[in-house]
Amino acid sequence: MAFPLSSAIISHKLSFNVSIAPSTRRSSLKPTHFIFCFNGKDPEISGRCRVHCLPKNNHLKELKDQHGTLTNSYISTRGHTNKLQSLIAVILVFVQISSPLPLVGWDVLPISPANAVLYSPDTKVPRTGELALRRAIPANTNMKTIQDSLEEILYLLRIPQRKPYGTMEGNVKKALKIATDEKDSILASIPADLRENGSTLYASLIDGKNGLQALLACIKDKDPDKVSVGLASSLDTIAELELLQAPGLSFLLPEQYKRYPRLTGRGIVELTIEKGDGSTFSPEAGGEPRKTAKIQVIIDGYSAPLTAGNFAKLVIDEAYNGAKLRSTDQAVLSDNGLDKSNGYSVPLEIKPSGQFEPLYRTKLDVQDGELPTLPLSVYGAVAMAHSEVNEEYSSPYQFFFYLYDKRNAGLGGLSFDEGEFSVFGYATTGRDILSQIKTGDVIQSAKLIDGQDRLVLPDDK
C-alpha cells in the first residue's frame, strides 16, 4: 500500500531548550545547565529540567504561559553516574528528534508521496519469459511436481556462498523417482497421436545427454556451470512434454465471450522492425549492422485466450504491417491504429497464479498477495494497452513491450502496474532489440509463424 506523506506535520521551525539541575537531595556537584537552542533563543532557566518545543517566533512570555502544556522531562540526578547517564540520554533523544526536522533557515522539505508495492521481496516471481511461460502450461500434476522440484534448483544456484549441492541432489532424485514411478500416468496424459513423440521426449528426460541422470552427475561434480546448462536442458524437455499434454484449453470460456477470437494453446509471432530514420540496429556478435531486426514473441492462449486470439487475428489480417512504434523509458508501444483496425475490444483478461481460469474485467490486488500467471514484471512482457473508453477493457489494437527495470520497481521487485494489464506473451528471441527501438521506428511486417491451427475465429453468421 502506498502511504502519502504530508510535509505539514513538520512544517514548523522548532526551538529546543533543555536544562538539567540537581534535585533537592544533597549533592557535591554544583547545579549544571544544558541548553539546546537551535534558533538562538535563550529563555530563562527554571529550577528543574524541561524540554521545550516551541515555534521559532514565540517569546519568553509565551514560554512561561504555555510550558504546562508542552512536553516536559524531569530529570533528577543522584550522584555522578546518574547525572552522566541522564545527560547522555537527553542528548541522544535530541539527536534522534532533531535530525529529520527542518532547523534554522531551512525551507519546508518537499516530500512526494511514497509509491511502493509493499509485498514480500522473497516472492518467487518468474524473472524470465521462458520461466513464466513454462509455469503457465496446464499439464499433468506429476510433471508439475517434477518441474517445481527442478525449478527450486534455479534459486539454489543463485546462492553466492557455498552452494547446497546436497539439497540439489535430493531435488533431482525426487524428480527421477516421480518420473520413473509415474511413467504410465505421464505418457497416458498425452493424446494418442502424439504419444510416440512423448515417449521419445520422456526417454531423453531420464537418460538423455542432458537428462536427469546427467544432471545428477554434474551436481555430484559440484560444477555450477554444468549444473546450470543441464538444468536448463531438462526444464526445456519438461516444457515440451507438458505442451504435448495440453493440446487445448483446460477450462470453458464464459458464454458471453465465445464470440471473440481465441487461441487455444501457444503461438509464435515474428515481428520485423526497421528504423524510421534510416539508421541501423547494432550488429549481432561478429555480424554487420542491420537495417532490420526480428523479434519473436510467444503468445499464450492458456492464460489469455481472448487477448492472444485477438492479437493473432490482427497479425493474420496484416493490421500491424507498417505500424509505427513509440518508445518510452518503460515500454515500446505500437500506434493506436483505431482507424484501420478491425480488432475486438476484449475485456481485461488476467489469470491469477494458481487459479484454474482467467478473471475478466478485474484487476488483481497485488498488495494483497494476488499475482498473475503471466507477470508484467519481466523484461519483454507483451501486453495490450487499456481501452481509451473503459479500463475494464483492453485496446482493440494497441499493444506494448514492457521494459522492466527492477530499479523502478516496488519492494518485492514488482512493477507498480503489476496486475493491471492483460499480458499475453513474452519476447523470447531478439530481446536485445527492444532497447534499440526509438520513436518513429516501424513494424515492417508481423507474421504468425506457428499456432494458426490453434486459433479459433468467430462465426460471423
Q: Which residues pair with 393 in a beta bridge?
A: 347
Q: Is the pLDDT of residue 63 over 60?
A: no
pLDDT of residue 442: 96
Cα angle 425-300-333, degrees, rounded to a multiple of 5: 30
What cell does 41 get?
Answer: 533563543
What crossing angle do the helices spanning 212-220 and 165-181 adopt, rounded to 10°? 160
Percent of the chain topping pLDDT 90: 59
Under a CB-based contact definition with an 8 Å cutoff, are residues 286 and 304 in contact? no
pLDDT of residue 200: 96
Per-position DSSP letters for 261-285, written without gaps between them: -EESSEEEEEEEEE-TTS--BPPPT
CB atoms within 10 A of CB 395: 24
pLDDT of residue 210: 84
Q: Determine the average pLDDT of the residues in 355-382.
A: 94
Phi, psi dihedral angles at 18 (to 5 degrees): -130, 130
What crossing angle do the helices spanning 212-220 and 224-245 adopt, rounded to 10°? 160
Q: Which residues pair with 16 in a beta bridge?
A: 53
For 179-211, what is each residue's pLDDT tens digit? 999 999 999 999 999 999 999 999 999 998 889
Cα angle 227-229-230, degrees, rounded to a multiple of 5: 65
What cell does 1 get?
Answer: 500500500
pLDDT band at 64 (very low <50, low <70, confident <90, very high): very low
Which residue in this structure is represented by grid cell 543463485?
158
Q: pTM to 2 decimals?
A: 0.72
In the chain, the amino acid numbered 324 is: K
Nearest to 454 by CA among 235, 233, 297, 300: 300
Task: Give 252's DSSP letter.
Answer: P
pLDDT of residue 83: 59
Distance (Å, rounded) from C-alpha 207 to C-alpha 216? 11
pLDDT of residue 82: 59
Q: Is the pLDDT of residue 288 over 60?
A: yes
pLDDT band at 81 (very low <50, low <70, confident <90, very high): low
Which residue in this structure is represented by grid cell 477470437?
261
159, exposed or middle or buried, with CB in 10 Å at 0-12, 13-18, 19+? exposed
In the chain, the amino acid numbered 288 is: E
Distance (Å, rounded) from C-alpha 77 to C-alpha 21? 8
Q: Determine the average pLDDT of the residues in 422-437.
A: 95
Which residue in this structure is represented by grid cell 533523544?
93
pLDDT band at 238 (very low <50, low <70, confident <90, very high): very high
pLDDT band at 335 (very low <50, low <70, confident <90, very high): confident
